[in-house]
Structure 1
Amino acid sequence: MAESSDYVVVGAGLAGAATAWQLAVRGHQVTLLERDVPATHDGSSHGSARIFRYAYPDPFYTRAVLESKALWDRLAAETGTELITPFGAVDYGPRRQPGLLAGVLADAGIEHELLSADEARSRWPQIAFDTDVLWHPGAGVIDAETSVNAMVALAAHGGARVLTGWNLDRIERRADTAGAGFRLHSATGETIDAGNVVISAGGWLPRLLECLPLPAGFLAGLPELTVRQEQAFHFRYREDSGFSGSNWPTFIHKADDIQTYGLPGGRDADFAGQKVAEYNAGPRIPSAVQQTGVVDPANRARVVDYVRHCLPGLDPEPYAETTCLFTNTPNEDFLIDRADNLTIVSPCSGHGAKFAPLIGQWAADLATGEGPVPDRFRSATSSALSAQIGTP
């Protein structure tokens, strides 16, 4: 006889761990399944360096960061662990629209400054600014792996069962209506029954969607998910040139010909430099199953050339490099949707980490029917049905 659980969450990355935490602290019976280990190295939530920032051109997301930060603070307090290290952030470039971002932050009451390029260069001579610059000191760096483990620990403390090395192969709907609604099968033949399932599988989600017992109309209404194998490079601080390694903010630079971001690399690369990447520039792959972990030489060359010309405070030769999965929707909104007691969660498009505790709250609300999820994260079919029946 298969083991059973009221709620099974698949995937112990940031979103899955947050969902399991939220469900467990509400008193639900929860099992968290992970194909490898929490914050696995070949997923999207590994390592110690993800940007936390408030600056968005869309006020919705800025308000959501404020909500998420309250949950981050709660998580840090309950675990006694620093999860976000403050560094501040600079946003610049002709396509980044720092003036627009400043207006959004002003409306939200978030501390910030709008600086000229010369004013910014006087503060951070290690960066070659090309436009006005938005500075907001409340930004920082999330330790993703520590955050995942903190949420998994709180979920377990709340009674959740955590199973690692459990690689989901397929889910079938049980005809026995007296029992659990679903039976989950692992790649090695294990099974577990569940009344409700939450799938938060990152780059593995496109493949899993093919073997989930979801209505055809629901599947057809979901946004297209694309997976990219992104590349990031670590460059040493040039301390000998007079630039200070202790004075590096996170940055997002949107020039006409390239979009880049950077942040202090943390323990991923021995705290010795800045992590720099070209945004959404990695090769597309069908799903995480096809990732190679091999860095594209052309992408490396573009980023090295960018560092050489735009970041004079860094040695332009990378001393470490890595790959990471980005799962994207066409408009970079998240996907948090539900049909027939099966919830799909994909905090997509390279900007979901900062929202992890809030995404867990939204996903738990949707899975339990205890609260709504923003309509922009659900398909038009789901939103219309929710409006008709008055439930999430």
Structure 2
Amino acid sequence: MRCVVVGAGAWGLPAAAELAGRGHEVLLLDRHGVAGPLSSSSGPTRLWRLTHPDRPRVRLARRSVEAMERLARAGGSEIVLRRGLLWRDDATLDAVVDALAAEDVPHEVVEPGDVGRFFPGLRPDGRAAVWQADAGPVLAAGSMATQERLLRAAGGRVEIGADVVEVLTTTTGPVVVCADGRRFAGDVVVLAPGPGAAALLATLGVEVALRPSLEQVVHVGGPGDDTDHLPCLFEGPREGEPALYAMPTPGRGYKIGLDRAVRDLGPGDDDRTPDAALTAEILERVRRDLPVLTPVARDAQACSWTTSPDGRFVVDTLPGGVVVACGDSGEGFKFSALMGLVLADLAEGRSPDADVAAFSLARLDGLAPVTTHVLGR
């Protein structure tokens, strides 16, 4: 089967590698390259966790950990680290506890004054939390490098500089059209184009209210800080402050992001300059709430996100031999290795299981674009 995969990011690259490994003829297209600086998949780490406020994502996250561990064995390099996660958010705490309990995931509800037992020095703020040990950094750069090696070893081809602007469905199969006029035909097309998803889906007559935006993270810590072994942290929004998410990046510092966009991202916006005011705001949160860290920025990075109207990702098939994966809302790497398997199955014509089917396009009918961030939903 001829497979054209659009997008060499956290979902497109694993799908291409899996399809090539199954013996298919695979062409992977991307404008910027694998995990390039303008992509959504650049950077050394991402957060994986079993902690979610709904059961389907808890189950998918479990399957994803197994897939990442298989990937690590196949590539001979570590992909996931376990550091645990403290989740402190009034809006979702009950749902998180219920979902974890229903799926028999070990966890501990933490009283407001006891949070420092799980995260050293964390300032109590009156909110209870939940601790779950199965969480930590995904070594994202290593994961992408392993997937690319597997793709090339299986005979897959990569075409960099392909600016895909249209997808056509014809009687002989789908065709991908590039801005320079090149066309690539396949028996199936897998669309995982990140911020470009809404525009490409529109060429197929599918309107989805996705919101591309630019997000920023900062690596924090002084030379003497032992950041590598700190747990991960999610703090829900409170009293006008945005949510905060954080994880250790080995050898680089403690990675922290606020759940607020630098700006919405439009076509042709290639500026990835970090926002100094946002960096200062993150350091002030560190100074106030995380005294175990020296409030010094080691580096800052901005990258693109794409958020769906309900804050959950989209995986589906369309008529004419098209598979779509988009709107991963910062969750791409958590499910990266698993989505390679899922998207390859869909490309081969298999029906999705119930957990995957819960993330189809149909649920978004009539929903408006998201205007506030929804990390943690």
The bucket for the TM-score relative to the shorter chain is 0.7 to 0.9
| Contact residue 333 and residue 376 of structure 1 kept, 8 A | no
Deviations 1:208-252 (A, max 9, x none): 334x3x2x3xx14xx31101100111211474xxx7434411110
Shift of 1:96: 4.3
Q: Residue 150 and residue 29 in structure 1: after superposition, are their counterparts in 2 closer, same or farther (change >3 A)?
A: same
In 1: Cα distance, 2:327 partner to 2:73 partner: 24
The alpha-carbon deviation at position 83 of structure 1 amounts to 0.5
Q: Does 1:379 align with 2:361?
A: yes
Q: Given the alignment of the two structures, is residue 309 of structure 1 paired with residue 305 of structure 2, yes or no?
A: no
The alpha-carbon distance between structure 1 residues 111 and 35, as it changes in their structure 2 partners (threshold 3 A), is: same
21-30 or 51-60, larger mean C-alpha shift: 21-30
Give the structure with the higher percent helix. Answer: 1
Aligned to 1:104: 99
Which segments of 5 or more consecutive residues in structure 2 lack a partner in the other structure?
366-377
Query: What is the one-letter code of the residue matched to 1:117?
Result: P
Query: RMSD of the alignment, in Å?
Result: 2.5
Question: What's the counterpart of residue 346 of structure 1?
Answer: 326
Aligned residue for 1:84, secondary structure, equals coil
Secondary structure at 2:62's aligned position in 1? helix
> 1:246/1:195 Cα in 2 relative to 1: closer, same or farther (>3 Å)?
closer
Larger deviation: 143-152 or 294-303? 294-303
Q: Partners of 2:18 and 2:24 in 1: how far apart?
A: 9
Runs of 4 or more consecutive aligned structure 1 residues displaced over 4 Å after TM superposition: none
Shift of 1:188: 4.2
> CA separation in 2, counterparts of 1:318 and 1:163?
36
Alpha-carbon spacing, 1:263–1:166, altered in 2? closer, same or farther (3 Å): same
**What is the aligned partner in structure 1 of residue 194 from structure 2?**
202
Whole-angstrom distance in 2 between the partners of 1:106 and 1:381: 26
Which residues of 2 match residues 15-26 of structure 1 at below 5 A? Answer: 15-26=11-22
Identity among equivalent pairs (%): 27
Query: What code does the residue aligned with 1:47 have?
Result: G
After the TM superposition, which residues 244-255 of structure 1 pair with which residues of structure 2 at under 5 Å, given as runs? 244-255=226-237
CA drift of 1:281 comes to 3.0
Shift of the 122–88 alpha-carbon distance from structure 1 to 2, 3 Å rule, reads closer
Give CA deviations for 1:238-291 in whole Å, capped at 9, x if unaligned: 74xxx743441111001423201011133xxxx24211111143311234x324
CA deviations over 1:174-221 (Å, ceiling 9, x no partner): 5xx4xx5244343445443222211111112233334x3x2x3xx14x
Alpha carbons of 1:328 and 1:371: their partners in 2 closer, same or farther (altered >3 Å)?
A: same
Structure-2 residue corresponding to 1:390:
none
- Answer whether contact 2:169 2:321 (CA < 8 A) is retained: no
Aligned twin of 1:333: 312
Find the counterpart in structure 2 of residue 359 from structure 1.
339
Following superposition, the deviation at residue 364 of structure 1 comes to 1.9
Task: Report the TM-score when normalising by structure 1.
Answer: 0.84
- The 1-side partners of 2:142 and 2:220 are apart by 23
Aligned pair in 2 of structure 1 residues 134, 382: CA closer, same or farther (>3 Å)? Answer: closer
Residue 126 of structure 1 is matched in structure 2 by 121
- Give the aligned length: 359
AA of the residue aligned to 1:348: D
TM-score by length of 2: 0.87
User: Against the structure 1 CA distance between its residues 96 and 205, is the aligned structure 2 distance closer, same or farther, given a 3 Å change threshold?
Assistant: same
State the SS of the aligned residue for 1:43: coil
Q: Does 1:236 find its partner at 2:236?
A: no
Could you tell me how far 1:106 is from its partner in structure 2? 2.7
